[in-house]
Chain A
Amino acid sequence: MLFDFMNLNELTIKEAQAGLRNKEFTAVELTQACLDRIKERNNELNAFITVCEESALKEAKIADEMLAQGKSLALTGIPFSVKDAICTASVRSTGAAKILDNYTPPYDATVIKKIREQGGVLVGKNNCDAFGHGASNENSMYGPVKNPYNLDKVAGGSSGGSAAAVADNMCIFAIAEDTGGSIRQPASFCGVVGLRPSYGRNSRFGIMPMASSFDTVGPMTKTVEDMAIVMQVIAGNDHLDATTVPEPVPDYNDELNKDLTGLRVGVPQEYFEAEGMDKEVRQIIEKQIKNLEKQGAEIFYVSLPMTKYAIAVYYILVPCEVSSNFGRLDGIRYGVRSEAKDLFGVYSKSRAQGFPEEVKRRILIGTYALSAGYYDAYYKKAQQVRTLIRLDFDRVFSDVDILITPTSPSAAFGLGEKSSDPIQLYLADIFVSPAASAGIPAISVPAGETKSGLPVGLQIMGSRMSEGLIMRVANNIKK
């Protein structure tokens, strides 16, 4: 293979690994290509809050020494970026909120530690909606991220910076976080692959917690093969996260190579008949379903009647968990402390100045819903409907192996288009939220482009711990 040294940043993990092992270029050259791309494009896209030029080049040099000795691990010398709501040792991690503007974590999140142990090179921290609160990346206190395909459009959220960075070749892959769609929806908007793992598959230790019963960590990559490589590195039990499951991690690459004969594909009608469903998006997904049929899959039209309640469940339970989790952000032990005449003033001013509007709104809703007299009407009711959403999926997964839906009812929407109406923005997550409630894995994979040139993502959901299967199906989706 002949490499144009100007475009090393455009490589996939698999291509970059081959090039590094065959000594066609060095990890320093590969890292420099990503850093150059960041320099060239970040002013416009705003995908990075922090760029680690110096440490990245140092890490790349170490990788080159390893490679020279023939010691190559799963990700040796591969440049990656990380959502800023994930802790990285000695690298500022703001969560895209001013309350942590100066915060440098003392340790790496477990998934980051695992990637570094396998030789990954951290190039920077990605912009996102503050602490993951949003679906457009307009709730960042460091400005919105723009869509690399069209600068007037949003990148999606909350992991918009990570999606834009991968799509625009500012890194080779990224690690992000998905609470209710934060990996899959921006992956769809930016034309990259994004996986929300089963809750419990990947450790959440070192992730800034948003809604603990929903939060998951997953990769964003250029190809499904790359997804399998990164998942192989980060998945598994962690004694620092008691919610990780003991099930062994399968060989994901093996899974990719199996065929689709006899695969039972469910197409849930509620997702295709949803309000605001874009005709072009629908056609692209339907065409892909027909392609799977040609490859030997059987198609079944199924029903998930609880789908329409998923957003309401999410926007009760998440604010409740947020209002509790965010008690730690008070300006006392870390982060930015505002001056005031007494303790109450320090708390309330630090939080007023350190959180953007949407974070405040969710804390207020959660505080309200959990206050005396409202608990049964909101929190308990939503938890009960969450059970019904789970049972919906359990029932359907006894008849089919996977479900296919659009990731989002539309391609990327305009900057500012939905920012003044929280409900409109919440509804952008209508197809990604149900999997989050059920704790099942779901992947978004590029399925085509609209006539105006915007990417459209297809979502594949599977039963718990079926990451291998949904990646295999995703690997058979060709744009």
Chain B
Amino acid sequence: MSISIEEVKKIAQLARIKLTPSEEKRHAGTISTILDFVAVLNEVDTEGVEPTAQVTGLEDVVRDDVVQVCDYKKQLLAAMPSINVNLLKVPAVFSDSEDVI
């Protein structure tokens, strides 16, 4: 299974990672090799086998809905890349950029 540079560009855009042309080329190569490698799973007969999403067997884990102290306001603000008084500053969400899909 090989993946083209065009496909890498498309996935990188979906994954929000800007790649350089040389990275695109390199990832197309290594990802193709990895997809070939994992194709070994096609040998395995999985007809009727349930998929495993978790291993504990726990279901519907709940706890009492009680308000707890979470006094981290100062530290959370300090960890933000850009703030205005007590608010997180974010870039504008809407733009005319052609990059946006």
A residues neighboring B (CB under 8 Å): 90, 103-107, 199-200, 213, 239, 242-243, 245, 306, 308-309, 312-313, 315-316, 323, 330-337, 340-349, 351-352, 355, 357, 360-361, 363-365, 367-368, 371, 378, 380-388, 390, 422-423, 426, 437-439, 464
Contact = CB atoms under 8 A, between A and B. Distances in A.
B2 to A, nearest CB: 12
B55 A390 contact: yes
20 contacts: A104-B79, A213-B54, A213-B55, A243-B56, A245-B56, A308-B40, A332-B81, A333-B79, A343-B100, A344-B99, A348-B13, A349-B18, A351-B15, A363-B17, A364-B31, A371-B11, A383-B51, A384-B50, A387-B50, A439-B55
B16 A106 contact: no
B15 A363 contact: yes
A423 B34 contact: yes
Contacts of B8: 364
A243 B80 contact: no
A386 B97 contact: no
Contacts of B13: 348
A361 B17 CA distance: 10
Given A106-B79, A330-B16, A385 B41 contact: yes
Given A309-B44, A348-B18, A381-B46, A106 B72 contact: yes
Interface residues of B, number: 55
Interface in B7-40: 7-8, 11-19, 23, 26-27, 30-31, 33-35, 37-38, 40
When A and B form their complex, which 6 residue pairs have the shortest distance between CB atoms, in order from nearest?
A439-B55, A383-B51, A106-B75, A337-B81, A106-B72, A384-B46
Contact of A333 (B37, B46, B80, B91): B80
Contact of A382 (B41, B58, B75, B99): B41
B86 interface: no
Tell me if A's interface is mostly helix, strand, loop or mixed: helix
A327 B23 CA distance: 20
Interface of B: 3, 7-8, 11-19, 23, 26-27, 30-31, 33-35, 37-38, 40-42, 44, 46, 49-56, 58, 61, 63, 72, 75-76, 78-82, 88, 90-93, 95, 97, 99-100
Contact of B91 (A103, A242, A342): A342
Contacts of A360: 17, 19, 23, 27
A344 B38 contact: no
B51 A331 contact: no
Contact of B56 (A334, A351, A368, A439): A439
A387 B18 contact: no
Contacts of A364: 8, 11-12, 15, 17, 27, 31
Contacts of B54: 213, 243
A453 to B, nearest CB: 33
B56 to A, nearest CB: 4
Nearest to B101: A344
A387 B48 CA distance: 11
A315 B53 CA distance: 15
Contacts of A316: 38, 41
Contacts of B17: 348, 351-352, 355, 360, 363-364
A243 B21 CA distance: 41
B38 A378 contact: yes
Contact of A104 (B11, B55, B56, B75): B75
B54 to A, nearest CB: 6
Contacts of B56: 199-200, 243, 245, 439
A388 B50 CA distance: 9
Contacts of A437: 52
B37 A315 contact: yes
A105 B72 CA distance: 10
B34 A315 contact: yes
Contacts of A352: 17-19
A441 to B, nearest CB: 12
Contact of A315 (B7, B38, B44): B38
A389 to B, nearest CB: 8
A90 B91 CA distance: 27
